[in-house]
Chain A
C-alpha cells in the first residue's frame, strides 16, 4: 500500500496570504495524484488531477505541482471560502488518501 503523508497537519493563515501544502508518497506515484477540498459538513470537491491539472470550474488561485513522491498544492491568495481541509489521493497502486491538512484562519 502506498502511504501518503501530508504536511503540515494544520496551517494557520490570514485571508490574502499564500498557502503551501505538501503531500509525500511512500513510493513513486508518477503524476497520478489528485487534490480535494472538504469544507465542514460537505463532501470533498476535486481541485486538481494528474498532479497539476485543475478540474473544471476550479479557480486559478489553486495550483498543483510535483511528480514521483513529492507534491505541492498552492493557493496563491486565500479567500474566506478556502479555509477547509485538503486531501491528496493517489491512484498509482489502488487508491489511497493522505491524512489531510487543515487550513484555518489565523
Chain B
C-alpha cells in the first residue's frame, strides 16, 4: 500500500532555509514508472507546483521558484526532499509531496500535507 508522509518543521523564520522530507513506503522511488514532486497550497488558496524529480536524476523546477529551491532524493531511505532558501511569509503554505505517475501524466497519489508557517 503506497503511502507518502511529509515531515519538517512547522515553523520557519524569515530568510532561513526550509527543509522538508517525503518518506515513501510501499513503492520504490526508483520505479521507472514514476516521478516525485512537491506542491504547495497557501491557506485558502490554490495549488502551486514546486518541483519534480525522476530517479535517473532528471529534475524540473517551477521557473518562478527555481532560484530558491532544490529537490533531491535518498534512494537508500526511499525518501526525497525539498530545500527552499530565503523564505518569507509568502511561503506559508501546506506542502504536499506526491507521486507523478507516467501512465497518467498526473499526480495520482498525495501525502496528507504538512503546514509550514514562516514567521518571526
- Classify chain A: how many residues form its interface, as a range: 20 to 34
The A85-106 residues at the B interface (CB cut-off 8 A) are 87, 89, 91, 94-100
Interface size on B, residues (CB 8 A): 21
Known: A1-B63, A43-B110, A43-B111. A91 touches B46 (CB 8 A): no
Q: What's the minimum C-beta distance from B111 to chain A, rounded to whole angstroms?
A: 7
Interface 9-mer from B9-17, B85-93, B100-108:
B100-108
User: What separation, in Å, do the CA atoms of A85 and B105 have in the docked complex?
Assistant: 21
The answer to whether A49 and B48 touch across the interface, beta carbons within 8 angstroms, is: no
Asked whether any CB of chain B lies closer than 8 Å to the CB of A55, the reply is yes
Which B positions have Cβ atoms within 8 angstroms of A?
Answer: 37, 46-49, 52, 60, 62-64, 96, 98, 104-108, 110-113
Which A positions have Cβ atoms within 8 angstroms of B?
Answer: 1, 32, 34, 36, 42-46, 49-50, 55, 87, 89, 91, 94-100
